[in-house]
Amino acid sequence: MTRQFRRDDPAEVTVPTADPDRDGLANLLELALGTRPTRPDGRGAIRPRTVQADGRDFPALVFDRPVDRSFLNYTVEVSGDLQTWTSGSTVTSEPTVTASDVPGFETVTIQTRETLSESGPVFLRLRVD
């Protein structure tokens, strides 16, 4: 992440949780998604979608990531109230990874196990560590 910043940049700008370009993505997410932490280009990097399978609709998150980010863990968390977040194989499917239109990137889709009609309100977020 340090190659995105100058040596004289203040620490509060370069920490993983900072968002110096104010695009809503912290530096760690910018690294994980291949966007630039110093340029507000993060809009649309994480896309909510509905995935259809067996005639049913499932909430999902879709995002592109650089293929060389295997040192990071990407987790979709699910909540019904924005207070309690759950992750893992009981609430989400295994990621579907396909080639991206952008060279050096891959597209990842992670859907919930419950359909839209089964789940009631549902919120998804991407956690990276």
Across all residues in the chain, what is the average pLDDT?
A: 89
Mean pLDDT of 42-71: 92
| pLDDT score for 114 | 93
What DSSP line would sit under the chain, residue for residue? -GGGS-TTS-HHHHSTT--TT-SS--HHHHHHHT--TTTT--TTSEEEEEEEETTEEEEEEEEEEETT-TTS-EEEEEESSSSS-B-STTTBPPPEEEE-SSTTEEEEEEEBSS-HHHHSS-EEEEEE-
Q: How confident is the model at residue 85 (pLDDT cuts 50, 70, 90)?
A: very high
| Residue 6 pLDDT > 70 | no
| Residue 58 pLDDT > 80 | yes
Domain locations along the chain = 1-43, 45-129
In whole angstroms, what is the distance from residue 28 CA to residue 1 CA?
8
Give the whole-number percent of the chain exceeding pLDDT 70.
Answer: 89
**Tokens describing residue 112:** 């919930």
Q: In 3D, which of 4, 56, 54, 60 has the Cα closest to residue 29?
A: 4
Q: How confident is the model at residue 92 (pLDDT cuts 50, 70, 90)?
A: very high
Q: How confident is the model at residue 103 (pLDDT cuts 50, 70, 90)?
A: very high
In this structure, which topology does domain 45-129 adopt according to CATH? Immunoglobulin-like (2.60.40)
Mean pLDDT of 67-80: 95
In whole angstroms, what is the distance from residue 2 CA to residue 49 CA?
32
Mean pLDDT of 6-25: 79
Is the model more confident about 64 or about 4?
64
Is the model more confident about 36 or about 56?
56
- Write the secondary structure of 39-51 as one string of H (helix), E (strand) and C (coil): CCCCCCCEEEEEE
| Residue 2 pLDDT > 60 | no
